[in-house]
Amino acid sequence: MVYCTPSEVYDICGLTTDDVDSATMTKIILSATARVNADINLPIREEEAVYIDQYRENKVDGSNATFYVQDSYKYFLGDFSNDGVITIADVEVYIYDPSAKTKTEATISSVDWKLGKIVLSSAPASNTTVYITYARAPLDESTPHRLVKEACRALAASLAYMKIRAEDYQKLDLGDFSVTAYAGGQTKNSPFGIYSDVYQELMDKINSGELISADYIPDLPYLKDTNYVRP
């Protein structure tokens, strides 16, 4: 699954399977999905699992197997593997044992993208340290959020037009679909340029922070406590 389907791209750009077949459009969408993720997500590498609040203590005590990423009250787990879905493949957890001087990758049982929650198959020993690698997403990439879908559609449409007019471009640099220079001159009024502009407008909106205000707190179960104080 990716953020949009070939039919959703055809619907907005006027192309048909006669112009770009569905198999090729699927590949274009995969490239667009990776580009969207790169433009809005923040990769977090080996973040130590430490105390956040009374609901997300991240205890490493030999019995706790549930851990939360930092800022999980504000951001979501993102699509680290660029396949358009959020699964255990999007998170890596490493257990460091200072006494044995070892680093072991933990087995993950489940993840909750909305809560920023990772459940391991077994609890790390109390003398170890837990580190989490994941992507921090500003919007829901699991459903996905409407703006994430629209960004993927716009970018895929732009890349699809580039694909059918590849002879007009001097260099491709994003898989088989991206472009650095247009041999025919202006691109702004070309379909490639138009959908590229739409994509950039959506990126500006998503990355502006307007959708993630400083006061934003999701309606999550552990926030129903009226005495909760956000860290």
User: What's the pLDDT tens digit per position in 13-67?
Assistant: 889 999 999 999 999 999 999 999 999 999 999 999 999 998 999 999 999 999 9
How much is the pLDDT for 170? 47
How much is the pLDDT for 104? 97
The token duo for 40 is 């809005």
The token duo for 136 is 């921090």
Question: Phi and psi at residue 12, in whole multiples of 5°?
Answer: -100, -15
| Rounded Cα gap, residues 70 and 44, in angstroms | 10
Q: Which residues contact 109 (CB under 8 A, 6 or more apart)?
A: 65, 88, 119, 120, 121
- What is the pLDDT confidence band of residue 175, given thresholds at 50, 70 and 90? low
- What is the pLDDT confidence band of residue 221, given thresholds at 50, 70 and 90? very low
C-alpha dihedral over 43, 47, 51, 55, to 10 degrees? 40
Question: Shortest CA distance to 108 belongs to which of 98, 96, 123?
Answer: 123
Q: Where are the beta strands (DSSP E) in the chain?
A: 42-48, 66-68, 76-77, 92-97, 102-105, 108-112, 117-120, 129-137, 169-171, 181-182
The b-or-e profile of 198-218 (16+ CB within 10 A means b, else e) is bbeebbeebeeeeeeeeeeee
| Domains of the chain with bracketed CATH | 6-39+143-207 (no CATH), 42-137 (2.60.40)
Does residue 181 surpass a pLDDT of 70? no
| Rounded Cα gap, residues 111 and 88, in angstroms | 6
Q: Which residues contact 146 (CB under 8 A, 6 or more apart)?
A: none
Residue scoring higher pLDDT (173 or 53): 53
3-class secondary structure, 199: helix
| Rounded Cα gap, residues 67 and 120, in angstroms | 8
